[in-house]
Structure 1
Amino acid sequence: MAIQYSEKHTDIVNINVGGTIFVTTMKTLKSVQDTRLSGISTNSAEFIAGQNMYFFDRNPELFSSVLDFYRTGELHLPKHVCGAAIRNELEFWQISSSSISDCCVPSLFKFEDELEVTNNLRRQFETKSVDYTREQLQSSKWNRIKSVFWNVMDKPSSSKLARSYSILYMLFVMVTCVIFILSTHEYFRVPIKDHVKINETHSVSAYTYLLMQHNNNPKVALLGSSDLRPSLYFLDKVCAVFFILEFFIRFVVCPIRSDFLKSWLNIVDLIIVFALLLTSIMEFFHDFYTSKALLWLFLIGRGVIILRLLRLFRFAKHFSGLKILYLALRASFQELGLLCLTFIITTSLFGALVFYAEFYEPTNFENVPIGIWWAIVTLTTVGYGDYYPITVPGYFVGALCGMCGLLLLSMPIAIIATNFNDYYNQNKIREKQINRKKDIFNKIKKLFSNKNIVNVIHMDGIQAGSPKCNGRARTPRVHELDPASETEPTTTTPREINVAFRKAGAKVLASNRQ
């Protein structure tokens, strides 16, 4: 940028921004204080004494908006310019973003929102998992063996064996859950032939005894007085042994055992292991049903085992759709909190209203909690039909409650859908960039014939890794075959290989454009 004073009009300032001349007055520049242009003088670092000129090498297109801000006091921004460029220019000219006019604020905020979405996606998808360091792998052969087991059991995408193991793991999870579901049906259970003495002369079956002890509850009596069929029982124990061994093996081969139980999924696994051991021991001794406390402990242990389904979330990190849904829900946390608060207020209000609307009906809505239950069912458009108004005032309350439910559910769904769409679109762009880098990297690899070079691709760029010899990393100079010639391999450093890769990448891009 150059500023030149006219000899006849000393107040006129000629401003050269990136080769474009702008004419204004010093009075105009002084109209907005505490900015870069308001403080210019012949003592400024940009002043060129020989030409009586100030030079700033900036974007002339954006400077038009900056100069108009000094002239009119309103800062309007071009719609087609990236928000990052606008923010950088405002920072350079020392103009606060609060000076932007209301009509142009959304363009800057849109950029900030997109930047936040991109950063959240990067943190979510590029989170580094627990892994062995190079020093640990080089320290002992045992660590290298544990690393192989860890990659197979915790990283399904690391190899074909790991993918096969993940499929096997999911099959075990599904089988054990199916067994749990079938175990509640009497067809898949066989009764225990034990009898319980109720006095010195009479004894009854375990099923009858449990009915007597638990108010004729057939569910408690069935689960407490019968076992699984032998085939299902054997399959269930095989699954139990598999999960127990799998948990302890993963704990042994984990690179950082102190971080192992910091994962909530590993804590769930530990609870399930204890539940499996507890129920197996209690099933070995068939007389646990004689004690109510032991029976309830057994039933709770069996119920905890259904948490096995949560094991499938261990593989959720390899499915982008689940991660995007999680990010969308987290971005809508405030809206969901407002929904819960509004829902509590609305259900309490309509619960009380329907109670008083049906006040003269002695058998309908006996108290407000029943009215709140009816309001919850009505607002969520479920409508069980166990409670409903039967008077004219009750009909009006019910109709109003139903309409409020439609409005109450539609608003947060729209917000969550918008957030999901933002994350989904940004993730599609991110995946295209990754695939583009991988495509370039694969083409670059074809340009090099030296098989000893180990190349590593990162999400943020492409770089060459160090070669390996006999399974141990080394750092001597490596050999590179120039793809453009038939000469012998030349000795280069890894840094030179990176430079060669970048040049080759540029050639690939140029060929794609052609």
Structure 2
Amino acid sequence: MIRSVSKTDDDNQYTDATAVRITDKEMETAILETIELGSETNSEITTENSSAISAADLRPKITGNEINMKLKPKKNCNGKRITINVAGTKFLVSWETLAKVPNTRLSRLTMYDVDPDEDEIFFERDPTFFPSILGLYYTGQLHFLHSLCGPAILTELAYWEIPATALSPCCKEACFVTEEKRQENQKLADEFGLSEQTSYEEEKRCCGAWRLKLRRFLEDPQSSTWAKIWLFLSLLATVFSFASEAISSVKEYRTPSDFDPAVNNSTFREMITANLSNKELMRLTTYDNAVNDILRDVAQYFFTLDIILRMLSSPGRWHYFKSVLNVVDCVWLVSAWVLYAFVLLYCAECWWTMSTLAFRTIFWLYFINNSLRVFRVVRIGYLFMPLKVIFLTIKASIAEIVTLLFLLILGALIFGPLIYLVEVSNDKSSMYNIPIGYWWAIVTMTTVGYGDRYPSELFGYAVGIVCVTVGLGFSGLPISVISANFSRYQAFAASIKAKKSQSRGSSQESASNAISPELTCKG
């Protein structure tokens, strides 16, 4: 059913101008209420005459005007103004003002949102922010007091469906400073590994709670005493690993192999003629002593166990391989055990029976194994806050480090050929060719100055002065950014330490308060 109503500016009465649709449910409700009113009137009819009166006569007559009166808002809600109640604080505003900012919650209000009993529209929100919200409708500018919380302002804007871009520049900066600071702190917390990594999906997986405890045990030494012991064992295994490698390079600590290379050993003579260095021959003709083998094996077994436990504690099947350190650990693990298998097949007394290919293969596996073992130190360093700050600073400054390398290469490409050209007429000059000039330029720009190459002409000295000056400028530009990153991480680490100290002091104070009544009673 459709009725047409509208309001005029003079008498605030409805006329037939605007079509408003009334649903069947509203019509039925109005009819039932009118019937109840009519029933009270008809109750005065006596029982003697009730039999003579038909049911149609008892039904009250319902006119269109009576239905309109039931559905029509009261008082000023059908006029120019409307009362908005925000948690008890009332604001009087016109419908025309609310329509100035379209596509917002207030602009979509209609007369049928008005509570007919209270003659107002109620919102259960904080009234502190609402005057500023209305100010946008009044003046077209959105300003907030700078003392208000930035995230709370953004929450209110989201509720009233006002975009954050509507904020005035002065308030936008003050509002988003807090939000940007919060996001930066959240990012730093993620990098330091302080964010909560648990999730409902992870806990639902098989042994989810056990995986979380194991990961906390491996990655947070402060979580328990056993975690601290595991960290100590990791340090001990790392020391064993590097100590065994250092000892194995000393000839006096190696055991000579008792064999005669001249007897039935054409392969060994072939490697001798291949110009093997004395260091390679030492590795070939001697082997590690028993103590050194034990140290290396203990470290390798411990590292293998640590990698397996980290794989088991990973949240997902492939989540473990998303970390570069984890991938490096897996490559090291494979190379270490392949090398170990080669050593078992070709023991130290039989190295001379190997082919050249086998010897070269073991040599390169040995090189890869030793190179990747350095990353174990990086992993342990992440467990100590000072080293963690340094590693995170390097990680955050990768772009600056690459820029520094690019500037050094650019300077070498300029000053390398230049120093060669100015020294080309001097036969006693150490700048024999342009590649040596590149080496000299990089060493000079980094202010290392090995002294193996140096200019010997007046123009060469001038090129050297310019090269040093440019190198200082090149190295100073990215280093300032790296220092800023270090200060940021250092400040965040200091705040973490302060919070831990504060929480530890609070817990001790609570514990002392808890046991003080017992001590008092015993006294």
Normalising by structure 1, we get a TM-score of 0.62
Residue 336 of structure 2: aligned partner: 272
Q: How does 1:167-316 map to 2 (within 5 A)?
A: 167-197=232-262, 213-214=274-275, 217-228=277-288, 233-246=289-302, 255=312, 262=321, 263-264=326-327, 265-279=329-343, 281-288=345-352, 292-306=356-370, 307-316=372-381
Match of 1:387, SS? coil
Residue 467 of structure 1: aligned partner: none
Q: Is the 8 A contact 2:84 2:91 kept in 1?
A: yes
Instruction: Please give the alpha-carbon distance, in whole angstroms, between the structure 2 residues aligned to 1:161 and 1:69.
Output: 59
Instruction: Using the TM superposition, give the Cα deviation of residue 433 of structure 1 relative to its aligned residue in structure 2, in angstroms.
Output: 5.5
Out of 162, 180, 194, the residue aligned to residue 113 of structure 1 is 180
Residue 486 of structure 1: aligned partner: none
When residues 374 and 107 of structure 1 are mapped into structure 2, their CA distance, relative to the original with a 3 A threshold, is farther
Residue 91 of structure 1: aligned partner: 158
When residues 119 and 396 of structure 1 are mapped into structure 2, their CA distance, relative to the original with a 3 A threshold, is same
Q: Is the 8 A contact 1:117 1:423 kept in 2?
A: no
Out of 93, 101, 111, the residue aligned to residue 43 of structure 1 is 111
Instruction: Using the TM superposition, give the Cα deviation of residue 236 of structure 1 relative to its aligned residue in structure 2, in angstroms.
Output: 1.6
Q: Is the 8 A contact 1:282 1:288 kept in 2?
A: no
Q: How does 1:318-333 map to 2 (within 5 A)?
A: 318-333=383-398
Instruction: Using the TM superposition, give the Cα deviation of residue 348 of structure 1 relative to its aligned residue in structure 2, in angstroms.
Output: 3.1
Q: How does 1:347-358 map to 2 (within 5 A)?
A: 347-358=412-423
Instruction: Using the TM superposition, give the Cα deviation of residue 378 of structure 1 relative to its aligned residue in structure 2, in angstroms.
Output: 2.9
Instruction: Using the TM superposition, give the Cα deviation of residue 383 of structure 1 relative to its aligned residue in structure 2, in angstroms.
Output: 2.4
Out of 424, 437, 449, the residue aligned to residue 371 of structure 1 is 437
Residue 451 of structure 2: aligned partner: 385
* AA of the residue aligned to 2:337: V
Instruction: Please give the alpha-carbon distance, in whole angstroms, between the structure 2 residues aligned to 1:366 and 1:428.
Output: 53
User: Which stretches in structure 1 are left out of the alignment for 5+ residues?
Assistant: 1-5, 139-143, 450-482, 484-514
Instruction: Please give the alpha-carbon distance, in whole angstroms, between the structure 1 residues aligned to 2:100 and 2:178.
Output: 29
Instruction: Using the TM superposition, give the Cα deviation of residue 88 of structure 1 relative to its aligned residue in structure 2, in angstroms.
Output: 1.5
When residues 91 and 164 of structure 1 are mapped into structure 2, their CA distance, relative to the original with a 3 A threshold, is closer
When residues 57 and 170 of structure 1 are mapped into structure 2, their CA distance, relative to the original with a 3 A threshold, is same
Q: How does 1:125-144 map to 2 (within 5 A)?
A: 125=194, 126-127=196-197
Q: Is the 8 A contact 2:86 2:123 kept in 1?
A: yes
Higher helix fraction: Structure 1 or Structure 2?
A: 2
Q: How does 1:3-18 map to 2 (within 5 A)?
A: none
Instruction: Using the TM superposition, give the Cα deviation of residue 442 of structure 1 relative to its aligned residue in structure 2, in angstroms.
Output: 7.8
Which deviations, in whole Å up to 9, do the C-alpha atoms of 1:393-421 show, x marking residues without a partner? 54444334333333333333333343344
Instruction: Using the TM superposition, give the Cα deviation of residue 159 of structure 1 relative to its aligned residue in structure 2, in angstroms.
Output: 5.4
Instruction: Please give the alpha-carbon distance, in whole angstroms, between the structure 2 residues aligned to 1:42 and 1:260.
Output: 52
Q: Is the 8 A contact 1:76 1:101 kept in 2?
A: yes
Instruction: Please give the alpha-carbon distance, in whole angstroms, between the structure 2 residues aligned to 1:23 and 1:396.
Output: 81
Instruction: Using the TM superposition, give the Cα deviation of residue 66 of structure 1 relative to its aligned residue in structure 2, in angstroms.
Output: 4.5
Q: Is the 8 A contact 2:150 2:175 kept in 1?
A: yes
Instruction: Please give the alpha-carbon distance, in whole angstroms, between the structure 2 residues aligned to 1:329 and 1:275.
Output: 32
When residues 236 and 430 of structure 1 are mapped into structure 2, their CA distance, relative to the original with a 3 A threshold, is same
Identity of aligned residues (%): 24
Q: Is the 8 A contact 1:275 1:301 kept in 2?
A: yes
When residues 90 and 447 of structure 1 are mapped into structure 2, their CA distance, relative to the original with a 3 A threshold, is same
Instruction: Please give the alpha-carbon distance, in whole angstroms, between the structure 1 residues aligned to 2:213 and 2:80.
Output: 76
Residue 521 of structure 2: aligned partner: none
Match of 2:333, SS? helix
Instruction: Please give the alpha-carbon distance, in whole angstroms, between the structure 2 residues aligned to 1:164 and 1:271.
Output: 28
Instruction: Using the TM superposition, give the Cα deviation of residue 16 of structure 1 relative to its aligned residue in structure 2, in angstroms.
Output: 6.8
When residues 374 and 82 of structure 1 are mapped into structure 2, their CA distance, relative to the original with a 3 A threshold, is farther
Instruction: Using the TM superposition, give the Cα deviation of residue 180 of structure 1 relative to its aligned residue in structure 2, in angstroms.
Output: 1.6
When residues 350 and 68 of structure 1 are mapped into structure 2, their CA distance, relative to the original with a 3 A threshold, is farther
**Is 1:407–2:467 an aligned residue pair?**
no
Instruction: Using the TM superposition, give the Cα deviation of residue 430 of structure 1 relative to its aligned residue in structure 2, in angstroms.
Output: 5.1
Q: Is the 8 A contact 1:214 1:220 kept in 2?
A: no
Instruction: Using the TM superposition, give the Cα deviation of residue 235 of structure 1 relative to its aligned residue in structure 2, in angstroms.
Output: 1.3
* AA of the residue aligned to 1:170: L
RMSD over equivalenced CA pairs, Å: 5.1
Q: Is the 8 A contact 1:210 1:221 kept in 2?
A: no
Q: Is the 8 A contact 1:379 1:401 kept in 2?
A: yes
Q: Is the 8 A contact 2:412 2:441 kept in 1?
A: yes
Q: Which moved more, 1:15-24 or 1:49-58?
A: 15-24
Instruction: Using the TM superposition, give the Cα deviation of residue 237 of structure 1 relative to its aligned residue in structure 2, in angstroms.
Output: 1.5
Match of 2:261, SS? strand
Q: How does 1:63-74 map to 2 (within 5 A)?
A: 63=130, 65-66=132-133, 69=136
When residues 249 and 219 of structure 1 are mapped into structure 2, their CA distance, relative to the original with a 3 A threshold, is closer
* AA of the residue aligned to 2:373: R
Residue 504 of structure 1: aligned partner: none
Instruction: Using the TM superposition, give the Cα deviation of residue 85 of structure 1 relative to its aligned residue in structure 2, in angstroms.
Output: 1.7
Q: Which moved more, 1:294-303 or 1:252-261?
A: 252-261
Instruction: Please give the alpha-carbon distance, in whole angstroms, between the structure 2 residues aligned to 1:67 and 1:403.
Output: 61
